[in-house]
Chain A
Amino acid sequence: MAFDNLFSEIVFWALAVVTIGSAALVVHLRSIFRAALMLVVSFLGIAGIFAMVNAEFLAVVQVLVYGGGIAVLVIFAVMMTRDVDTGNRSTAVQPVALMMGIALLGALAYSIVQAEWALLPDSLPGPIATVFVETPTQLGRLLLSDYVLAFEVAGVLLLAAVIGALSLVRERHDA
């Protein structure tokens, strides 16, 4: 769906307000548990924006990985945290963190505004048009041909992480 009518405009702005508003609440809310829930809302808002620009696969993966996996992980971590309902007290690091945050935001905003976005023409030639229709097929083909090494390395890395986590939490029966 392109940005060609009022309906898309309304949807886009609603998603943008939800995404940024919930992200602001993540920082602002006192209760860490509620902050974690707002983080999930923010993730889902980003998934909505992906869906709007015809990246259905990316949108679904965003919901699957961030809305499902990462969110559960974050909430579990929050449950193991002390002082969940009051949040952290302010420390001397806060001004520095604020400055770093503003600098990062500025750098990102600058690069997004300055970048020369290559716009696709309205009518796409055949092979490119199929990429948008069959994203999963094309991605799968690329991952298992041109980028198979990176794909396998990522798999081995994850396996190592799982084994490491298991050996850390394993209970020793001899003790």
Chain B
Amino acid sequence: MGETLAGNVIYRNVYEFVQDLLGEEWSWVAYAAAGMAIILLVTNAVMLIGTLYTWFERRLLGRFQGRLGPNRAGPFGVLQPIADAIKLISKEDIIALGADRIVFTLAPVVMLAPTLLVLAVIPFGAGSWVADLNVAVLYIAAVSGISTIAVMMAGYASPNSFSLFGSMRAVAMLVSYEVPLVMALLGVTVLAQSMSLVSIVEAQALPFLLVTPLGALIFLAAVSAELNRAPFDVTEAESELVAGYMTEYSGMKYGVFMLAEFTNTVVAGAIFAVLFLQGWKWPILPSHVWFLLKVAGFVFVAIWVRATLPRYRLDQILAVAWKYLFPLSLINVLLLAAEVIVWPEPGAAELGIMSAINWAVTIPAAVLWSKVVSLRTAPPVAAAFSTEGR
């Protein structure tokens, strides 16, 4: 029996049931069956939350824009995602003439896979994680990189220029924002002196949001770009590119793309909660409830940003990544490394001092650098990815 999950009630019951059924020498079947039960539980729960999140986002956007949002299906329109799913399933499944059928069909699956793989390492509550990898932070960066390939597959397999343009834009953006994202993760790793998410949560005597505000800011910006969320949603800029790499998709294939996108936002919220908000910790309420509330807080901020900010141009997006976020993330890592050398085993008091220094650096650095970097001029890169005048 695996050590990490032996304490889990469902895991133990499935394991013992199968082992009683088949006997001692078939324990590996029990191991596999119990593991599958946990995987089924975690993926379905998270996808269900991802679906519910679509309702939350639409209602909240409605509120921000002074309208109602979906409110017909069920109480407060909560059953709207189910109605949407039924509609998507019953739609005709179209594969455009001239498409690479196999690659076209596989792209949504490849898009969803990294989202579900990341779930393996996330601690959802005290003692509730599938695996406590000692390279978990790196694992998240590695696995989420696979979605880039899915975007390329979708864009390339569709016989449509808008799809190809959308996917080229998306890849340029995803690859650029991976750098500040990984640097922000590196800052947290330096501070916690571990890449295991469980150790990172335990290292947070103070929430890292307070200790390393610059890292949290860079992570927020970079992760919104990785998620194709406003203000970085050029890949599906409706006014320019129809729907980007998803243009040719319909029915449930489109549904799976959407599911991946919404579940991604929830998973990103979970990663943010673990890295910067002490994960499942905080008093009084049960740990799982706190975790869900923190994820909901992240999601709320993400929707708020989407409702507030207009979309960047592609060249501006790349400029923000390379000229603004990347230098700031270097400052962040250097600062944290120096502080960890001075205080090798930071407790709450040392983290407090670090927090004071970091805030004193973050605010001037972020403000001054935003004055230095200009987004007004359009460099030649813009022409290569722009659809205007073609």
Residues of A within 8 A of B (CB): 5-7, 31, 33-34, 37, 40, 56-57, 60-61, 63-64, 67-69, 71-72, 75-76, 79, 133-136, 171
Q: Given known contacts A60-B139, A75-B149, is B103 in contact with A34 (CB within 8 Å)?
A: yes
Task: Specify the chain B residue showing the minimal Cβ separation from A133.
Answer: B134
B145 touches A64 (CB 8 A): yes
B195 touches A136 (CB 8 A): yes
Residues of B within 8 A of A (CB): 28-29, 31-32, 100, 102-103, 133-135, 138-139, 141-143, 145-146, 148-149, 152-153, 156, 171, 175, 178, 195, 380
Q: Is the CB of A72 within 8 A of B171?
A: yes
Whether B28 and A63, one on each chain, are in contact in the complex, defined by CB atoms closer than 8 angstroms, is no
Q: Are B134 and A56 in contact (CB under 8 A)?
A: yes
Known interface pairs A57-B135, A64-B142, A76-B171; 20 further A-B residue pairs with C-beta atoms within 8 A, sorted by A's residue number: A5-B28, A7-B31, A34-B103, A37-B149, A56-B133, A60-B135, A60-B138, A61-B138, A61-B142, A63-B142, A63-B146, A64-B141, A67-B145, A67-B149, A68-B148, A71-B149, A75-B149, A133-B134, A136-B134, A136-B195
Assess A72 versus B149: contact at CB under 8 Å? Given A5-B28, A37-B103, A63-B143.
yes
> For residue B102, which residues in chain A have a CB less than 8 angstroms away from its CB?
34
Is there contact, CB below 8 Å, between A63 and B149?
no
> Which residues does chain A contribute within 8 Å of B141, judged by CB atoms?
64
CB-nearest residue of chain A relative to B193?
Answer: A137
Tell me if B100 and A56 are in contact (CB < 8 A).
no
Assess A31 versus B31: contact at CB under 8 Å? Given A63-B142, A72-B149.
Answer: no
Q: Are B135 and A136 in contact (CB under 8 A)?
A: yes
- Min CB–CB distance A49 → chain B (angstroms): 16
Residues of the A chain whose Cβ atoms lie less than 8 Å from the Cβ of B135: 56-57, 60, 135-136
List 25 A-B pairs, Cβ < 8 Å. Answer: A7-B29, A7-B32, A33-B103, A34-B100, A37-B149, A57-B134, A57-B138, A60-B139, A63-B142, A63-B143, A63-B146, A64-B138, A67-B146, A67-B149, A68-B142, A68-B146, A68-B148, A71-B149, A72-B148, A72-B149, A75-B156, A134-B134, A135-B135, A136-B135, A171-B380
A37 cross-chain contacts in B, Cβ below 8 A = 103, 149, 153
Q: Output the nearest chain A residue to B146 by Cβ-Cβ distance.
A: A67
Return the contact of A40 from the options B142, B149, B175 (Cβ within 8 A). B149
CB-based contact B156/A33 at 8 Å = yes
Contact of A6 with B28 in the complex, beta carbons under 8 Å: yes
CA–CA, A76 and B146, complex, Å: 15
Residues of A close to B142: CB separation below 8 A: 60-61, 63-64, 67-68
In the bound complex, residues from chain B placing their C-beta under 8 Å from that of A69 are 145
A79 lies within 8 A of B28 (CB): no
B contact residues around A136 at 8 Å (CB)? 134-135, 138, 195
B-side contacts of A60, CB under 8 Å: 135, 138-139, 142
Contacts of A72 in B (CB 8 A): 148-149, 152, 171, 175
| Complexed CA–CA distance, A75 and B153 (Å) | 9
For B380, what are the chain A residues with a Cβ–Cβ distance below 8 Å?
A: 171
Write the nearest CB–CB distance from B176 to chain A, whole angstroms.
12
A5 to B28, CA, bound (A): 8
Q: Which chain B positions have C-beta within 8 A of A34? A: 100, 102-103
Contacts of A75 in B (CB 8 A): 149, 152, 156
Tell me, in angstroms, the Cα distance from A69 to B139 when the chains sit together: 14
